[in-house]
């Protein structure tokens, strides 16, 4: 038996040595950036028993949080838990705004059933209930969505439009029966008579207020997302007094049973407790790491990550976040993809329907382009033009001039082009999500050559100088290496945390699983757990692809 044991160990060592020689053992991933639990935290509220709930729109999940320990559990899972803001009603229901789906929904705490009360309200965001149990919702996020509505709790009648006011966000009723709301775009706080639509000013001087709430004493507090400030508002004079300063990216607030204030952050996915009397801050939930990583790119010793609510720069060797350029603080618009060159970064977002050119290192927005169908990946060529993969239009669009007025269709008839990789200045690789294929497109002639057509919901793609495309297949949660000249492929790794499901009626790929290559190292973003993993392309991979081996 002893002899047999040593024989087995020897066989294992020999096998391990063989794998190292072939390069396959190098394909085992390392976790460069550790997973984090949340994908941005939004609305939060206490129920009548003093239990805190918090919603994550991006993850479409509603959580219960223990404010004493920071421990959490899922209360309403995806896709039903898409709560940007919510209320508890006296009759045992939760009414919440499903921002991505443009709906107002209700969840019955007794029957555990979800129902839609109102639909077709783009960017529906804040919700509040007055003393007569009437429910009011508002639109937010852009100058195009400006309505304040009263909602029929039964869903039998259409929402009643009260007025159009841009910038409404998390609001609350005062003891005077008026609705107090931040005006995000002007830095004001106003009060609204919901019966007449009359508006009166309360305070001004904030940069980007996103939430106001009253404590049990009738004192009004507000969050400024752009500065990270928690402020108290004097209702008589409009004077604003800073109470505490948190990180920018604040989303919503709620008061606990003892009048401690709790504030959520959609960039860092954390919750802070603030004592409004002393200004003392205590971290309740500290996610750490990334929020919702999508596209990824490499330049020098840095990784550039589109983290949905921010543009981040990481150390390529340690994975440590070195810089975070945040939504609201700057004009960046929910970056879902990123590509970089020696000067600029190009980010894109289907949510913002925008492609933006940034200074790579500072994150300063140089240009913003809109007017797409559903833009996914975008890359800048040496001449300064930008190629955009437009899923909805099924085409590659080239933005020729800096102003963005001169555009040309490079190639059309594609099946939801999603990821892009530059082979040379006149050729790109493009994943086609709906046709499960990888194609090569000549940017001059528009000629499209299909390289592989047996992929499974491919998203991100990167190009290795040896003629290898590395593709993230979200349908099989794997990464595949493909010889672009022969189409032969090799699965590098399976069971990766990729392929976050979207929402009904949303774009086919919810985000974009990013892939980047630097030397023989492959970087992959994990949109299921907010991680970044690495793979090594061993020296024998090209040889194996030419032989047609698969793993």
Q: Residue 129 belongs to a domain with what CATH number?
A: 2.130.10.10
Is residue 298 a part of any domain in this protein? yes
Q: Give the whole-angstrom CA distance, residue 423 versus residue 492.
A: 21
Q: Give the whole-angstrom CA distance, residue 428 versus residue 442.
A: 7
* CA 51 remoteness from chain centre: 27
**150 and 48 belong to one structural domain:** yes
**135 and 226 belong to one structural domain:** yes
**305 and 239 belong to one structural domain:** no
Is residue 517 a part of any domain in this protein? yes
Closest CA to 482 of 530, 436, 418, 528: 436
Which of 270, 285, 300 corresponds to the end of one domain? 285
pLDDT value of residue 143 = 86
If you write DSSP's letter for every residue of 483-544 in order, what string do you get? ETTT--EEEEE-S-S------TTS-SSSS---EEEETTEEEEEETTTTEEEEEE--TTHHHH
Number of structural domains (the chain) is 2
**270 and 311 belong to one structural domain:** no
Instruction: For 462, list phi and psi in degrees, rounded to 5.
Output: -135, 160
**525 and 483 belong to one structural domain:** yes
Q: Give the whole-angstrom CA distance, residue 473 versus residue 482.
A: 12
| Cis bond before residue 79 (omega within 30° of 0) | yes
Q: Give the whole-angstrom CA distance, residue 453 versus residue 471.
A: 12
Residue 521 neighbours by CB under 8 Å, 6+ apart: 534, 535, 536, 537
Q: Give the whole-angstrom CA distance, residue 313 versus residue 327.
A: 15
Q: In this structure, what DSSP letter does residue 109 have?
A: T
**295 and 198 belong to one structural domain:** no
Q: Give the whole-angstrom CA distance, residue 381 versus residue 379.
A: 7
Domain hosting residue 262, numbered range: 44-285
Is residue 30 a part of any domain in this protein? no
**204 and 312 belong to one structural domain:** no
Q: In what order do the strands lie in the sheet with 103-108?
A: 85-88, 93-98, 103-108, 114-118
Is residue 25 a part of any domain in this protein? no
**384 and 497 belong to one structural domain:** yes
Closest CA to 379 of 325, 421, 408: 421
Is residue 18 a part of any domain in this protein? no
pLDDT value of residue 1 = 37
**Alpha carbon separation from 340 to 302, 313, 396 (Å, rounded):** 11, 11, 18
Which of 285, 319, 337 corresponds to the end of one domain? 285
If you write DSSP's letter for every residue of 316-355 in order, what string do you get? TTT--EEEEEEBTTBS-----EEEE-SSEEEEEETTTTEE
- Which tens digits make up the pLDDT trace of 92-120? 899 999 999 999 999 999 899 999 999 99
Which of 237, 268, 285 corresponds to the end of one domain? 285
Q: Give the whole-angstrom CA distance, residue 499 versus residue 511.
A: 8
pTM of the model: 0.91
> What's the CATH number where 410 sits?
2.120.10.30
**252 and 401 belong to one structural domain:** no
Is residue 65 a part of any domain in this protein? yes
Cα-Cα-Cα-Cα dihedral of 221, 190, 93, 225, to 10°?
-50
Is residue 23 a part of any domain in this protein? no
pLDDT tens for the chain, residues 1 to 551: 333 333 333 333 333 333 333 333 343 359 999 999 999 999 999 999 999 999 999 999 999 999 999 999 999 999 999 999 999 998 889 999 999 999 999 999 989 999 999 999 999 999 999 999 999 999 998 888 999 999 999 999 999 999 999 999 999 999 999 999 999 999 999 999 999 999 999 999 999 999 999 999 999 999 999 999 999 999 999 999 999 999 999 999 999 999 999 999 999 999 999 999 999 999 999 988 999 999 999 999 999 999 999 999 999 999 999 999 999 999 999 999 999 999 999 999 999 999 999 999 999 999 999 999 999 999 999 999 999 999 999 999 999 999 999 999 999 999 999 999 999 989 999 999 999 999 999 999 999 999 999 999 999 999 999 899 999 999 999 999 999 999 999 999 999 999 999 998 899 999 999 999 999 999 999 999 999 999 988 777 767 776 665 44
Is residue 112 a part of any domain in this protein? yes
Q: Give the whole-angstrom CA distance, residue 32 versus residue 533.
A: 5
Q: Give the whole-angstrom CA distance, residue 339 versus residue 420.
A: 9
Q: In this structure, what DSSP letter does residue 17 have?
A: H
**266 and 378 belong to one structural domain:** no
H/E stretch holding 10: helix 2-22
**53 and 174 belong to one structural domain:** yes
**466 and 534 belong to one structural domain:** yes
């Amino acid at each position: 038996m002893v002899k047999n044991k040593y024989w087995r160990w020897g066989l294992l060592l020999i096998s391990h040595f063989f794998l190292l020689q072939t390069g396959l053992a190098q394909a085992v991933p390392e976790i460069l950036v550790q997973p984090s639990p949340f994908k941005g935290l939004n609305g939060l509220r206490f129920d009548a028993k003093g239990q805190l709930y918090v919603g994550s729109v991006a993850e479409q999940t509603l959580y219960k949080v223990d404010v004493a320990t920071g421990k959490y559990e899922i209360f309403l899972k995806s896709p039903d838990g898409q709560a940007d803001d919510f209320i508890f009603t006296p009759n045992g229901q939760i009414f919440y705004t499903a921002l991505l789906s443009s709906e107002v929904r209700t969840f019955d705490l007794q029957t555990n059933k979800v129902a839609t009360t109102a639909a077709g309200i783009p960017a529906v965001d804040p919700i509040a209930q007055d003393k007569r149990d009437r429910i009011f919702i508002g639109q937010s996020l852009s100058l195009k969505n400006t309505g304040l509505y009263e909602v029929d709790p039964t869903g039998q009648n259409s929402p009643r439009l009260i007025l159009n006011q841009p910038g409404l966000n998390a609001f609350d009723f005062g003891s005077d029966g008026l609705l107090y709301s931040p005006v995000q775009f002007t830095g004001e706080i106003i009060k609204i008579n919901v019966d007449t639509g009359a508006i009166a000013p309360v305070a001004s001087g904030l940069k980007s207020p996103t939430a106001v709430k009253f404590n049990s004493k009738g004192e009004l507090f507000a969050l400024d997302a752009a500065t990270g400030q928690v402020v108290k508002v004097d209702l008589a004079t409009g004077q604003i007094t800073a109470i505490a300063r948190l990180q920018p990216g604040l989303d919503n607030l709620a008061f606990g049973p003892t009048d401690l204030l709790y504030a959520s952050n959609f960039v860092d996915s954390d919750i802070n407790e603030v004592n409004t009397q002393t200004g003392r801050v205590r971290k309740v939930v500290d996610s750490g790491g990334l929020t919702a990583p999508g596209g990824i790119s490499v330049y020098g010793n840095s990784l550039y990550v589109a983290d949905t609510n921010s543009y981040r720069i990481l150390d390529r060797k340690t994975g440590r976040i070195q810089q975070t350029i945040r939504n609201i603080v700057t004009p960046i618009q929910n970056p879902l993809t990123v590509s970089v060159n020696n000067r600029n970064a190009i980010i894109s977002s289907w949510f913002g329907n925008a492609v933006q050119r940034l200074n790579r290192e500072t994150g300063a927005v140089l240009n913003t382009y809109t007017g797409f169908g559903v833009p996914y990946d975008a890359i800048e060529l040496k001449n300064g033009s930008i190629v955009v993969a437009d899923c909805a239009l099924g085409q590659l669009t080239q933005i020729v001039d800096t102003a963005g007025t001169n555009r040309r269709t490079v190639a059309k008839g594609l099946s939801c082009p999603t990821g892009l990789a530059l082979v040379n200045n006149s050729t790109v690789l493009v994943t086609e999500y709906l046709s499960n294929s990888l194609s090569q497109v000549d940017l001059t002639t528009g000629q499209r050559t299909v390289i592989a057509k047996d992929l499974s919901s491919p998203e991100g793609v990167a190009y290795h100088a040896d003629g290898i495309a590395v593709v993230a297949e979200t349908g099989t949660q794997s990464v595949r290496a493909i010889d672009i000249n022969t189409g032969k492929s090799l699965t590098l790794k399976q069971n990766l945390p990729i392929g976050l499901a979207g929402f009904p009626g949303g774009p086919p790929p919810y985000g974009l699983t990013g892939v980047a290559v630097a030397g023989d190292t492959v970087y992959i973003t994990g949109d299921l757990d907010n991680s970044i993993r690495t793979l090594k392309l061993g020296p024998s991979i090209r040889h194996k692809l030419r032989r047609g081996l698969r793993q």
